[in-house]
């Protein structure tokens, strides 16, 4: 008997990071509809996960001195992994990951420009002890299911983005096209929906959207920071014509404005882009791949329906995701296990399902790099190559080897978590498959697991043999192709 | 195909050796029988190499006037003679390793390689060098298409990528180039010990053998797993190689030593991909022999020198060619931060026992207005199409017809490096 309704397991793999034993306890009492509501309406539950860092019954962090996730990027990475594993708001972290890939920004360019401490603050600062605006990932958390239009405006003013796409040097004399181009090509309407003239006009729209440094700005000062600054005298005040409508009445030209009023140009353009029907469809296609399937091409009816929900709700994402998770496309069994896990989804799910007893999250970072993903370090502004692009012989081996490391690390915990009657050779394979929820095993692979367990020792169930079998099965199942699918 | 009969036979045999899904050491057997397999090692200088400071036209007064702080003094360069246009040239002072190889006639320096309207984007530029199509930065790569010409099934180790991401040049319609940045982690790991590990590996092999015909995406993942499991032992053999000489430390030296191990142990890889970064020298690149760029040159020259000598000691220098490229050259004039910005044409190098060494092409004249320049004389204009170098490598080294692979005949004007 499965530990959870398979549909709820499916929901937790897609709208979260899989189900740990504590999650099973929470969700086993819910109907599917209640589980969707629990994930979506997370704001009723406090965002208290960071306060649990350091608790012995949680995963551990690796740190040189005092844990400093606001100023050390590797510690910021660990904090994010901790949140994915232990949050009571899994969909919020999942959406933060979605937006991190959508607005892909890489730490290394920021560090080259501003030094490691300032770059980490720009990526990951949680407001509290240190001065300065929140880091980019906090923005994605805050707007995880919020208005896309508002998120877009926040992203345009985000210090990390202003360094990443060179907005900080966008001036009246030398308009910088980088952000103007990508905001249309990658963040909203997509290729083929705008012209080169639109790119030049968009660059001029954002002239003067620059950065300002705090007083006493020293790179290694943890209290120093950079913040958005509308530099009115660097704003190009001329009118900017576009090839698509900017205003509800159909007008395509952003009018000439005074320097002091010039910031409205950017708000007008971003609003137009957020409400553009191609943006609605493009986000719908991305959500299809993220929530429904990477194997089936997007269903045209899904795209139109989701785009419609998005526009009817003033670009708010919460009703969109609610619609998707409740829709027949999501619940239909044909789309189950129809998505490739990204390395971070794979690793976090494995930790949640196998265990985290005394596991140090710092040890996850190098395996993740070997699998092709470093958090806060997408390869370029287009984000990571998703889906099948995650897999090669080398990355597949890296996943299997991580499964071995994790199984070795959780060996004792794994066995301790099994009931006496689950430890027999006969029961163990079923128990582990049920707990790890891989895609269905065909007869051949299923038989291979059985033969393996039998071969280790038909003699009986000495403690060492049970240890070896449980750890070996965890390694084989988590390292299997079936487990790589969500 | 303009390939001599001798070359054709030689490569025909080598291709068969490679193309079989070989038992691990077929190529050892082949070598014992006197049949050799050729290797191509591609070295990518990531970031856009400042070619004008790699090979210096040290008598050009504009070289010094346009690079007041980063130029290399005439007295410091390692002279390599003059090219066909009479320009006196010298290698960067930290390229002593390469000077020896040049003097032995084993290093070809191909100047001003590129294409029209050179991309200034790292991503697009690298992709264009990968696709071998200046008009497209997406789709399969030139070496991937070379693999597509080989008979199926292709050995899982036909290509060996030492970086963690598959470069576009190696992308093929068939997919699946193993990425083995670190041979020592490319092994079967287990939470157990002893006999249980053997059982585990057997189980993993059976699981990956599942054809999963009704689930193509699962079949794809199983193929990746099988590729890994099939190649593990050969990779281990390669990483256990003890070189004949010491390699310099650092990632580049380690990668080259691993490649040498794979070649010497005959794992059957035909193409290797090695990358060394740090070439995006926008600021403080340093002048003379010093600075960041001096370090890059020392890493490059010392690494390649060790690699070549090691293979020569093993009697394999004639079976190996190294091809060095970067996604673009850099601007002629230095910028305000003692560095150089993204430019156009660059320098390619070929190195190996069968390479016809020497200077190919002509250096640019850096005087503003000179026809060898472009972009308001800011950049070096290309003279040799990069695809013609690829054509030469494909036709004369790998022994395949370059025309279908490159989507056109680029043999005209190709430097005769073989």
Cβ pair A481:B196 closer than 8 A: no
Tokens of A20: 């740990």
Within-domain flag for B199: no
Instruction: Tell me the chain B residues in contact with residue A182 when contact means C-beta distances shorter than 8 Å.
Output: none
Q: What is the mean pLDDT of residues A197-216?
A: 94
- Residue A18 CA: distances (Å) to CA of A91, A326, A342, B221: 11, 18, 13, 20
Within-domain flag for B194: no
Cβ pair B191:A472 closer than 8 A: yes
* Closest to B212 (Cα-Cα) out of A424, A262, A441, A355: A441
- C-alpha A36/C-alpha A30 separation (Å) is 10
Q: Name the residue with higher pLDDT: A191 or B89.
A: B89
pLDDT in tens, B357-374: 999 999 999 999 999 999
Of the residues A394, A403, A472, A486, the best mutation for testing chain B's interface (the one with the most B CB atoms within 10 Å of its CB) is: A394
Q: Is B33 exposed, middle or buried (0-12, 13-18, 19+ CB in 10 A)?
A: exposed
Instruction: Tell me the chain A residues in contact with residue B199 when contact means C-beta distances shorter than 8 Å.
Output: 452, 455-456, 472
Tokens of B338: 């003692």
| Mean pLDDT over each residue of chain A, to the nearest integer | 94
Which of B165, B207, B221 is the closest to A448 by Cβ? Answer: B207
Of the residues A481, A483, A486, the best mutation for testing chain B's interface (the one with the most B CB atoms within 10 Å of its CB) is: A481
Of the residues B191, B193, B208, the best mutation for testing chain A's interface (the one with the most A CB atoms within 10 Å of its CB) is: B191
Quick check: A438 pLDDT over 50?
yes
- Nearest-Cα residue of chain A relative to residue B174: A392
The mean-pLDDT minimum among B146-160, B253-267, B286-300 falls in B146-160
Tokens of A151: 């998120």
Give residue B342's domain range: 5-183+236-406
Q: Taking the alpha carbons of B259, B262, B263, B264 in that order, is the dihedral positive or negative?
A: positive
Contact A370, A463 (CB under 8 A): no
Q: Name the residue with higher pLDDT: B100 or B139.
A: B100
pLDDT in tens, A67-120: 999 999 999 999 999 999 999 999 999 999 999 999 999 998 898 788 899 999
pLDDT at B30: 42
Count: domains in chain B:
1
- C-alpha A17/C-alpha A88 separation (Å) is 11
Contact A349, A73 (CB under 8 A): no
Which of A338, A392, A468 is the closest to B224 by Cβ? Answer: A392
Instruction: Tell me the chain B residues in contact with residue A386 when contact means C-beta distances shorter than 8 Å.
Output: none
Instruction: Tell me the chain B residues in contact with residue A481 when contact means C-beta distances shorter than 8 Å.
Output: 207-208, 212, 218, 221-222, 224-225
Cβ pair A404:B166 closer than 8 A: no
pLDDT at B338: 84
Quick check: B386 pLDDT over 60?
yes
Banded model confidence at residue A461, pLDDT cuts 50, 70, 90: low
How many helices and strands (H and E) does chain A possess? 24, 4
pLDDT at B175: 59
* Closest to B131 (Cα-Cα) out of B168, B161, B87: B168
Of the residues A342, A372, A392, A441, the best mutation for testing chain B's interface (the one with the most B CB atoms within 10 Å of its CB) is: A392
Quick check: B218 pLDDT over 90?
yes
Tokens of B178: 């193993």
* Closest to B343 (Cα-Cα) out of B385, B384, B374: B374
List the 191-230 stretch of B: residues with Cβ below 8 A of A: 191-192, 196, 199-200, 202-204, 206-210, 212, 215, 217-218, 220-222, 224-225, 227-228
- Nearest-Cα residue of chain A relative to residue B229: A397
Which of B187, B192, B209 is the closest to A468 by Cβ? Answer: B192
Cβ pair B178:A394 closer than 8 A: yes
Determine contact: B116 vs chain A, CB below 8 A.
no
**Residues pairing with B56 in the sheet:** B90
Cβ pair B217:A391 closer than 8 A: no
Quick check: A460 pLDDT over 80?
no
Q: What is the mean pLDDT of residues B379-396?
A: 98
Cβ pair A475:B191 closer than 8 A: yes
- Nearest-Cα residue of chain A relative to residue B162: A394
Tokens of A342: 């990204």
- Residue B93 CA: distances (Å) to CA of B78, B112, B290: 6, 20, 9
Cβ pair A445:B178 closer than 8 A: no
pLDDT at A253: 98
Q: Which residues contact A112 (CB under 8 A, 6 or more apart)?
A: none
Q: Which residues contact B313 (CB under 8 A, 6 or more apart)?
A: B244, B245
Nearest Cα of chain A lies from the Cα of B225 at a distance, in angstroms, of 6
- Nearest-Cα residue of chain A relative to residue B165: A372
Cβ pair B207:A480 closer than 8 A: yes
Within-domain flag for B414: no
Nearest Cα of chain A lies from the Cα of B206 at a distance, in angstroms, of 6
Cβ pair A439:B225 closer than 8 A: no
Quick check: B20 pLDDT over 60?
no
List the 284-303 stretch of B: residues with Cβ below 8 A of A: none
Instruction: Tell me the chain B residues in contact with residue A346 when contact means C-beta distances shorter than 8 Å.
Output: none
Cβ pair A444:B208 closer than 8 A: no
- Nearest-Cα residue of chain B relative to residue A478: B204
Q: What is the mean pLDDT of residues B36-50?
A: 93
Q: What is the mean pLDDT of residues B22-47?
A: 64
pLDDT in tens, A145-189: 999 999 999 999 999 999 999 899 899 988 888 899 999 999 999
- C-alpha A473/C-alpha A433 separation (Å) is 9
Half-sphere exposure of A41 (CA within 13 A, CB side): 7
Tokens of B317: 């220098």
pLDDT in tens, A262-293: 999 999 999 999 999 999 999 999 999 999 99
pLDDT at B36: 57
Within-domain flag for B145: yes
Give the CATH number of the domain where residue B303 resides.
3.40.720
Nearest Cα of chain B lies from the Cα of A482 at a distance, in angstroms, of 7
Of the residues B123, B216, B224, the best mutation for testing chain A's interface (the one with the most A CB atoms within 10 Å of its CB) is: B224
pLDDT in tens, B155-211: 888 899 998 777 889 988 765 677 787 777 888 999 999 999 999 999 999 999 999
Quick check: B355 pLDDT over 70?
yes
Quick check: B393 pLDDT over 90?
yes
Of the residues B186, B192, B275, the best mutation for testing chain A's interface (the one with the most A CB atoms within 10 Å of its CB) is: B192
Instruction: Tell me the chain B residues in contact with residue A370 when contact means C-beta distances shorter than 8 Å.
Output: 164, 181, 185
- Nearest-Cα residue of chain B relative to residue A405: B191
The rounded radius of gyration (Å) of the Cα atoms in chain A is: 24
The mean-pLDDT minimum among A21-30, A299-308, B278-287, B399-408 falls in B278-287
Within A339-453, strands assigned E span none
pLDDT above 70 as % of chain B: 91
pLDDT at B10: 30
Within-domain flag for B205: no
pLDDT at B16: 32
Instruction: Tell me the chain A residues in contact with residue B217 when contact means C-beta distances shorter than 8 Å.
Output: 295, 338, 340, 388, 485
CA A55 to chain centre: 24
Cα–Cα–Cα angle for A233, A237, A242, rounded to 5 degrees: 140
| Mean pLDDT over each residue of chain B, to the nearest integer | 88
Quick check: B81 pLDDT over 90?
yes
Instruction: Tell me the chain B residues in contact with residue A340 when contact means C-beta distances shorter than 8 Å.
Output: 217
Within-domain flag for B349: yes
Cβ pair B204:A476 closer than 8 A: yes
The rounded radius of gyration (Å) of the Cα atoms in chain B is: 22
Within-domain flag for B230: no
List the 164-183 stretch of B: residues with Cβ below 8 A of A: 164-166, 176-181
Instruction: Tell me the chain A residues in contact with residue B186 when contact means C-beta distances shorter than 8 Å.
Output: 394, 397
Cβ pair A476:B207 closer than 8 A: yes
């Amino acid at each position: 008997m499965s530990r959870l309704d398979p549909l709820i397991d499916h929901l937790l793999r897609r709208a979260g990071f899989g189900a740990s034993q504590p999650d099973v306890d929470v969700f086993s009492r819910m109907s599917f509809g209640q589980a969707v509501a629990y994930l979506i309406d997370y704001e009723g539950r406090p965002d208290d996960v960071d306060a649990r860092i350091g608790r012995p019954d949680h995963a551990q962090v690796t740190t040189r001195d005092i844990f400093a996730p606001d100023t050390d990027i590797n510690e910021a990475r660990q904090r994010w992994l901790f949140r994915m594993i232990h949050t009571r708001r899994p969909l919020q972290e999942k959406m933060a990951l979605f937006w991190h890939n959508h607005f892909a920004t890489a730490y290394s360019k920021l560090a080259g420009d501003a030094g490691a401490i300032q770059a980490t603050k720009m990526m990951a600062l949680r407001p509290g002890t240190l001065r300065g605006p929140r880091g980019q990932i906090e923005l994605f958390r805050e707007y995880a299911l919020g208005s896309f239009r508002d998120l877009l405006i926040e992203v345009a003013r985000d210090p990390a983005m202003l360094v990443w796409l060179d907005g900080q040097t966008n001036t009246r004399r030398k308009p910088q096209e980088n952000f103007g181009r990508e905001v249309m090509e990658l963040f909203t309407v997509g290729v083929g929906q705008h012209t080169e003239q639109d790119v030049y006009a968009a660059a001029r729209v954002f002239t003067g959207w620059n950065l300002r440094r705090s007083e006493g700005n020293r790179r290694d000062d943890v209290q120093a920071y950079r913040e958005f600054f509308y530099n009115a005298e660097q704003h190009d005040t001329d009118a900017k014509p576009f090839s698509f409508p900017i205003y509800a009445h159909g007008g395509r030209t952003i009018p000439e404005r005074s320097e002091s009023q010039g910031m409205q140009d950017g708000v007008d353009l971003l609003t137009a882009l957020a409400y553009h029907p191609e943006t609605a469809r493009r986000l719908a296609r991305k959500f299809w791949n993220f929530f429904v399937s990477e194997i089936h091409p997007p269903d045209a009816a899904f795209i139109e329906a989701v785009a419609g929900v998005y526009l009817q709700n003033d670009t708010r994402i919460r009703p969109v995701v609610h619609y998707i998770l409740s829709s027949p496309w999501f619940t239909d069994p044909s789309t189950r296990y129809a998505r490739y896990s990204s390395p971070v989804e794979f690793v976090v799910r494995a930790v949640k399902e196998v265990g985290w007893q005394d596991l140090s999250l710092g040890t996850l970072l190098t395996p993740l790099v070997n699998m092709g993903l470093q958090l806060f370090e997408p390869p370029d502004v287009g984000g990571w190559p998703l889906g099948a692009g995650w897999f090669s012989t080398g990355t597949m081996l890296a996943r299997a080897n991580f499964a071995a490391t994790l199984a070795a690390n959780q060996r004792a915990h794994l066995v301790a978590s099994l009931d006496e009657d689950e430890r027999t050779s006969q029961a163990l394979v079923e128990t582990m498959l049920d707990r790890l929820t891989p895609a269905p095993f065909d007869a051949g692979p299923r038989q291979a697991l059985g033969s393996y367990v039998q071969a280790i020792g038909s003699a009986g169930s000495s403690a060492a043999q049970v240890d070896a079998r449980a750890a070996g099965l965890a390694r084989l199942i988590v390292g299997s192709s079936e487990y790589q699918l969500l | 195909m303009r390939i001599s009969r001798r070359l054709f036979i030689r490569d025909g045999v080598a291709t068969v050796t490679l193309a079989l899904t070989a038992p691990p050491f077929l190529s050892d057997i082949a070598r014992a029988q006197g049949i050799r397999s050729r290797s191509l090692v591609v070295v990518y200088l990531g970031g856009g190499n400042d070619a004008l400071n790699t090979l210096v036209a040290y008598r050009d007064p504009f070289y010094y006037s346009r690079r007041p702080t980063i130029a290399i003094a005439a007295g410091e360069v390692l002279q390599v003679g003059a090219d066909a246009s009479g320009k006196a040239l010298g290698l960067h002072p930290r390229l002593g390793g390469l000077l020896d190889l040049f003097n032995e006639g084993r290093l070809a320096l191909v100047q001003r390689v590129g294409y029209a309207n050179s991309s200034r984007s790292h991503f697009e530029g690298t992709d264009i060098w990968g696709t071998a199509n200046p008009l497209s930065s997406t789709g399969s790569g030139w070496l991937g298409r070379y693999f597509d010409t080989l008979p199926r099934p292709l050995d899982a180790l036909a290509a060996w990528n030492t970086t963690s991401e598959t470069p576009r040049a190696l992308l093929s319609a068939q997919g699946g180039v193993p990425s083995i940045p670190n041979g020592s982690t490319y092994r079967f790991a287990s939470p157990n010990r002893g006999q249980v590990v053997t059982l585990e590996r057997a189980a993993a092999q059976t699981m990956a053998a599942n054809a999963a015909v009704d689930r193509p995406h699962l079949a794809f993942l199983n193929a990746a797993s099988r590729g890994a499991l099939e190649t593990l032992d050969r990779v281990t053999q390669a990483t256990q190689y003890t070189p004949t000489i010491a390699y310099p430390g650092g990632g580049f030296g380690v990668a080259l030593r691993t490649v040498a191990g794979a070649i010497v142990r005959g794992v059957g890889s035909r193409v290797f991909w090695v990358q060394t970064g740090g070439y995006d020298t926008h600021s403080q690149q340093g002048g003379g022999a010093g600075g960041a760029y001096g370090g890059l040159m020392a890493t490059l020259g010392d690494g390649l020198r060790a690699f070549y000598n090691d293979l020569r000691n093993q009697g394999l220098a004639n079976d190996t060619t190294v091809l060095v490229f970067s996604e673009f050259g850099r601007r002629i004039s230095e910028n305000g931060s003692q560095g150089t910005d993204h430019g156009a044409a660059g320098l390619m190098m070929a190195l190996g026992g069968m390479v016809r060494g020497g200077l190919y092409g002509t250096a640019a004249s850096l005087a503003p207005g000179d026809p060898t320049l472009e972009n308001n004389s800011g950049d070096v204009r290309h003279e040799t199409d990069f695809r013609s170098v690829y054509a030469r490598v494909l036709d004369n080294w790998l022994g395949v017809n370059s025309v279908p692979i490159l989507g056109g005949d680029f043999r005209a004007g190709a430097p005769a490096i073989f």
